[in-house]
Amino acid sequence: MTFQYFLQLVISGLVIGSIYSAVALGFVIIYKATRVVNFAQGELLMVGAYVCYAFLVQMHFPFWAALLLTILFGMVLAMFVERLILRPMIGEPAISIIMVTIGLSLVLRSVASAIWGTDILVYEPKLFPQEMISFAGVPVSLEFVWCFVLSVFLLAVFSIFFKYSKAGVAMRATAFNQQAAQSMGISVKHIFALSWVISAVVSGIGGVLIGNINGINNTLYHFGLKVFPATILGGLDSILGAAIGGMIIGILENLSDGFCKTYFDLSGVKEVAPYVILVLILMVKPYGLFGTKEIERV
């Protein structure tokens, strides 16, 4: 494995990892606010990619208009799901709500297949420039650069939002103690709705970015399953952990795949690598790299 090939694997892994980080943010937001893992995250990503395709290719909207409409659609879908499906489940056991999100994932997958079919679709025209630039002697597509920049920008915006905005502070207070937050006048129901809206938005944008690189079909939801190890690795309740965990998984899965193809002529390692990496790290850090350690006193 030459140094240039190694560097190319790292760069492409960093780009994919940045998108993992953005989508992992959606997992973290919902878990921090509701203590529920949303197993429909991959389907929200897939729907976002398809909806942007519909506006961009089928209706011929400009890219930025298509992206804004996709974000708006994600917000409406999230509010609909939270209000009609998940809000009546408040107070129910967490496993019941998790099963609802699994059912939601199946419904979204079926609807997307019924509307757009199963063929691979591509954005035409491409969303970002296709020219190549040289980075340390390695050719890199401007498409990758733009995806990386937008993903990092998205992470920075929401990190600032959670740290400094009134709604962000309310979400952190709700995650810490729902009863105390309610006693301070915070509407927990509104915080739950906001968490789903933000999660749908970041997932939809992540779907647009990954769909632009790999194309879109009904298996795009698998991306959400690959993001889940990144979320657990960073710590299920840590925004910083989501960012770093996504980058780590993206780089390590690319390196492991390239290494196995080069020296052992093995393929398909990329699909398994995130879970192997997750298990190895959790053996040392059970709560993830930045997760909050829970201590029960008896």
The Cα 151–Cα 200 span in angstroms is 15
Closest CA to 200 of 111, 77, 96: 77
Distance CA 49, CA 219 (A): 12
Instruction: Flag whether 253 is in a domain.
Output: no
With tokens 């937008």, the residue in question is 150
Mean confidence (pLDDT) of the chain? 83
Task: Classify residue 252: in a domain, yes or no.
Answer: no
Percent of the chain with pLDDT over 70: 95
More confident position, 24 or 265: 24
pLDDT of residue 148: 87
In sequence order, what are the residues at sequence separation of 6 or more whose Cβ sits closer than 8 angstroms to the Cβ of residue 109? 43, 46, 218, 221
pLDDT for 12? 87
Q: 297 pLDDT exceeds 80?
A: no
pLDDT of residue 110: 92
Which pLDDT belongs to residue 68?
A: 92
Give the pLDDT confidence of 183-194 residue by residue, as tens digits: 878 887 888 888
Q: Is residue 237 part of a domain?
A: no
pLDDT over 80 at 53, yes or no? yes
In a domain, 141, yes or no: yes
Q: Which of 6-20, 169-183, 232-246 has the highest mean pLDDT?
A: 6-20
Q: Could you tell me the pLDDT band of residue 69, with boundaries at 50, 70 and 90?
A: very high
> How many domains are there within the chain?
1
Q: Where residue 52 falls among pLDDT bands split at 50, 70, 90?
A: very high
Q: What local confidence, expressed as pLDDT, does residue 294 receive? A: 57
Residues in the chain: 298
Q: Is the pLDDT of residue 34 over 90?
A: no
Encoded amino acid at 206, one letter: G
- Tell me which residue range forms the domain holding 95: 25-224
Digit-coded pLDDT (tens) for 85-144? 888 877 677 788 888 888 999 999 999 999 998 888 888 877 887 788 887 777 888 888
pLDDT for res 293: 62
Q: Is the dihedral of CA 280, 283, 285, 287 positive or negative?
A: positive
Query: Is 34 a member of any domain?
Result: yes
Q: What is the pLDDT of residues 236-295, one digit of tens each?
A: 777 788 888 888 888 888 888 888 887 777 777 777 877 787 787 777 777 767 666 655
Residue 268 domain-assigned (yes or no): no
Residue 280's pLDDT is 79
Residue 243 to residue 206: CA distance in whole angstroms = 13
pTM for the full predicted model: 0.86
- Distance, in Å, from the CA atom of 118 to the CA atom of 94, rounded to the nearest integer, reads 33
pLDDT of amino acid 292 = 62
Structural domain includes residue 90: yes
The verdict on residue 50 lying in a domain is yes
